[in-house]
Structure 1
Amino acid sequence: MAKAQTADLALMRELNERTILDHIRTDGPISRAELARRSRLSRSTVSSIITDLLAHNLVCETGVGHSMGGRRPIMVEFNYQSSYVIGVDLAATALTVLLTDLQANVLQRIHRSLRSATNIESYVQQVVAAIHHVLDTGNIPASQISGVGVGVPGPLSNGSVQSAYVVDLPNYPRVPLQSLLEQVLGLRVYLENDANLGALAEHRWGSAQGWENVAYIYLGVAGIGAGLILDGQLYRGDIGVAGEIGHLVVEYHQPAMTNGMHGDLQRFASTSALLEQAHNHGLPCTSIEEVIEQAYQNDENAIAIIGEAGERLGMAIASVLNLLNPGRIVLGGNLSAAGPLLFDPLYQTLRQHSLPLVANHVNILPGMLGEDVVAIGAVSLVVQHVFDTPSLLHTTSAAHHKCSTGFTSRLGIKY
């Protein structure tokens, strides 16, 4: 009985601490009295929690506030450099690693090509080496890292990678990447699909900010995925593989691909598919940017390639609109920079295949966060876990580090 009561008290303490931290982050600088009023906790409880947070360097006292009479209150703010976060975009042939504080201020960034690996250990070591590089360059010890978020191009199910192309090693079809990285790094690792992370990032800080129902469509190198935000929450589906929009069939008269699909969207609008079409038309393009450049120089083949991609995307997006009725569609990936050459045929086809009511309601636009969107989403994933579980901060807080509040992030945000 005593153990149960102790556990209940510990849980209540953690819930109260989370409430106080949430108010400090969103409303700070704020006084203890105002925290008590907004949280509806007693002043003694608030004071006790603040004392503990100060001891762990999670909050800072940052001056005095106004008073209508009597002693002026001491204000507290959240310390966004009490610990740090790693965000990784693990693409098919390259990776991007960000080191940020808890406000998503980017302190270090590295982008590297991934060498072909003959075994999984060699592959993982490349990822680990890049993470160690940003830690060393930023002079941040691993003990101050609250977690590592990793975005991968394959679908996930119950936290395990379910696709060989996540690491592009056919001999390793279901690599337990999360546990492998945790063993080597000695840190918490959070794994998520890249399109889902793009959706989280754009929803929190980018083109979908303020929208409750969003489809983020990530036009990647090897494939196309969608991250779905429904009623303000990331939707993963029953086994975690929702959003595989690249496998929607948009042409039934094509021979089957290696995945058995006939004419799915990836065949027409993925980066690799567009570059293959460019080469077939004799265009010396090695990137989507070069295809777009050729199109804006009035190359008819390049214009046709981008236009067909827009039409196929319009067909797929029409299905999403008719089924889920999102208010905003965000296109990520380099192809979204094609502008009207992509969006005009997309809209035209979309209107032909979707209900007029939903077609007239939706807004479709390119993402705002650029090439780091997946890594930024990986940071967001970790930070949300940290704020949902304040006890994680106690184990990584930088007690010796200068208290730092109120930064203006590289993204122009205040987390």
Structure 2
Amino acid sequence: MKNKPERAVPSHKKLIYTEVAERGTVSKADLLTSSKLTSSTLTRLLDDMVAEELIQETGRGPSNGGRRPILYQIRADYGYIFGLDISRISSTLGLFDMQMNPKSLVRWRMDEAMTPERTVEYVARLMQDILRDHQIGPNQILGMGIGAVGPLDRTNGMILSPLYFPARGWTQVPICRMFEQAAGIRSTLENGANMALVGEQWSMRHENVQHALYIHAGVSLRSAMMSYGRIVHGTVDMEGSIGQMIIQTDGPRLHPSGNYGALEALASVQALEKQARARAKMGDDALLQQYRITPEQLNFDILVQALSSDNPSVREMFHQSAVYFGVGLANLINIFLPEQVILGGALINSNPMYYQTATEIARQNTYNYPAYEPRFSKGQLKEDAVVTGAALIVRNSMEL
């Protein structure tokens, strides 16, 4: 039997830095309570970290009867980090300082021209432009975190075989190596759903949420789970496996390798487009006439426009999709029992009705409701959650 690899024990300096970063502004007395270090050891560490410009004194707190305590926070300009979200509909590049303040955020459409090579070339050029605009030298960049559509080989920095990219070539892509060669910046790969959850947890860190579920409903369905503040990784990296949850045993399947009656075949962008095109071919052609298109040109953007115009047929399709999504969401909630459920993606944001219907169905089918009821939200960072989480994993892995 193989021994489990030992997890590296963080240094006292790393623990103190993390504590200061997460709390924003903190006094030595607070750090003494949480770290269990002696006063002399903590004082020496803080002095060393100030000298190294990792942290800085930022004034004094209120007095509790004695001298007002010195307050500390991490230095925003100690270094900078890029975060990159690679997704099917759109991708985003962000530059962050050490306090996770976004210095720049650039988003673009992922169309048929955005092959892996073209994407790397485009992003590398964007990085140069952003650094020049902010007068930041390459030596000030600590690294780049990449949150991407799976499945992935995180250890070797590879995107393996994701479905539904508009461009060709997104199979067996050594994305980290490609960026390191093109931009000279060390890169770390994680799946996008995990990074979205990391980013959202950071945004609500003062609420001390320990158990959270994140689901992205878009071209596919992707999920992430956090337990005791840590991302739960499976044996293999398959963030999209939630889409294969069987909701209707005799139902349709979305693609030849998918399950019949799977959630993705009933509640996803692809499923809605497929259903709308089938209806159009069977005579429900009002949208074809309105937009002067063929059934094959009937896409999600047009469906969202029709939904906002209260087209009854389209509204019924979105409502039914939301009901199925709510049932699948209830299944996950009943398994993981999270405190917080965060929903994102094109479907969730398509119309308020979708989110309201899905969460209400999930509540109704949650075991022991209303005695147990998780909090639902669309998150605080929303479409910037992935890039924020991707930058955070670089900062969190920084050696001190």
TM class by shorter chain equals 0.7 to 0.9
Normalising by structure 1, what TM-score?
0.76
Q: 2:395 aligns with which of 358, 383, 405?
A: 383
Aligned to 2:5: none
Residue 244 (structure 1) aligned with residue 241 (structure 2)? yes
Residues 242 and 75 of structure 1: is their aligned pair in 2 closer, same or farther, counting only changes over 3 Å?
closer
Q: Which amino acid aligns with 1:94?
A: S
How do residues 6-405 of structure 1 correspond to structure 2 at under 5 angstroms?
Answer: 15-25=11-21, 26=23, 28-31=25-28, 39-63=35-59, 75-114=71-110, 116=112, 120-159=116-155, 160-165=158-163, 171=169, 173-205=171-203, 210-220=208-218, 222-241=219-238, 244-251=241-248, 252-254=250-252, 257-278=255-276, 280=280, 281-282=284-285, 283=287, 284=291, 291-338=303-350, 341-343=353-355, 345-346=357-358, 349-350=361-362, 355-357=367-369, 361-386=373-398, 389-390=399-400
Structure 1 residues 19 and 133, CA, compared in 2 at 3 Å: closer, same or farther? Answer: same
- Structural RMSD (CA): 3.6
Counterpart CA distance in 2 for 1:158 and 1:71 is 49
Q: Is the 8 A contact 1:90 1:96 kept in 2?
A: yes
User: Partners of 2:364 and 2:99 in 1: how far apart?
Assistant: 43
CA spacing shift, 1:206–1:306, aligned 2, 3 Å: farther
Distance 1:228 1:116, change over 3 A: same
Cα distance change, pair 295–210 in 1 and its aligned pair in 2 (3 A) = farther
How far is the alpha carbon of 1:102 from its aligned partner? Answer: 1.5
1:157 deviation in Å?
Answer: 3.6
Runs of at least 5 residues in structure 1 that lack an aligned partner in the other structure: 1-10, 391-415
Change (3 A) 1:137 1:325: same
Q: Is the 8 A contact 1:224 1:246 kept in 2?
A: yes
Cα distance in 2 for partners of 1:103, 1:36 equals: 22
Q: Which moved more, 1:94-103 or 1:158-167?
A: 158-167
* Residue identity opposite 1:240 in structure 2: D
Q: Deviations over 1:229-269 (max 9, x none)?
A: 12332112122325621222333332562324323222332
- SS of 1:131's partner is helix
TM-score by length of 2: 0.79
Give me the whole-angstrom Cα distance separating, in 2, the residues matched to 1:292 and 1:336.
11
Q: Distance in 2 between matches of 1:35 and 1:209?
A: 19
Distance change in 2, residues 1:175/1:309 (3 Å): same
Equivalents in 1 of 2:389, 2:84: separation in Å? 9
Give the distance between the partners of 1:213 and 1:38, measured in 2 at CA: 21
Answer whether contact 1:211 1:327 (CA < 8 A) is retained: yes
Q: Secondary structure at 2:189's aligned position in 1? A: strand
Which residue identity is paired with 1:227? A
Aligned residues: percent identity?
25
CA distance in 1 between counterparts of 2:87 and 2:153 reads 18
Q: RCO greater where, 1 or 2, for CA within 8 Å and sep 6 or more?
A: 1
How many pairs does the alignment contain? 375
Distance 1:22 1:173, change over 3 A: closer
Deviation at residue 85 of structure 1 after TM alignment: 1.4
